[in-house]
Amino acid sequence: MVKGISFHEIWTSLLQGDSKFSYIVLQYRLPRVIVGILSGFGLAVLQSLIRNPLASPDVIGITKGAGFSATPVIFLFPGAPSYALPLFAFLGALFTFLLLLFFSKKFTLNPVAFSLIGIALGAIFQAGIQYIIVKHPTDINMGLLWMAGSL
């Protein structure tokens, strides 16, 4: 049964570290909170750079690039170490962002061109993901579960 942890118990775990919930708070909940906050900061920076309050990583193709580079790890190397999947996803997102910057600078640096190039890159990467899924239909559940994402 899942039990809620009170704010006092969380605070005790953070300050003293000897609470019975210290492991849960420090190893599971705190890292997820930090990643959530950093993701929010990243989204705010992205929206201010593009000058579009509706911009998000999925609109400009970043999530599809991450998914495209993580999909082979899921389907082709199911026994890969646990750090391989997030590492490949991060590298794919970084590559997609650099590709997006390259094409944006080559044509123009306006927000509309940036968004349209991102949408095109996202479509290309989504096609690659679908191709890999079609070629490996037996492992589809794990891949789709990972690509759905959560904190």
Same domain, 31 and 77: no
What are φ and ψ of residue 100, in 5° steps?
Answer: -65, -45
Q: Which residue has the higher pLDDT, 81 or 68?
A: 68
Write down the pLDDT at residue 123. 95
Distance CA 38, CA 5 (A): 23
Distance CA 128, CA 64 (A): 9
Same domain, 45 and 87: no
Q: Evaluate whether 69 touches 89 at the Cβ level (below 8 Å).
A: yes
**Domain housing 24:** 1-50
Percent of the chain with pLDDT over 90: 15
Q: Work out how many domains the chain is built from and give that number.
A: 2
Same domain, 65 and 91: yes
User: Structure pTM?
Assistant: 0.70
Same domain, 62 and 85: yes
Same domain, 73 and 129: yes
Same domain, 45 and 57: no
Structure tokens at 48: 């201010």
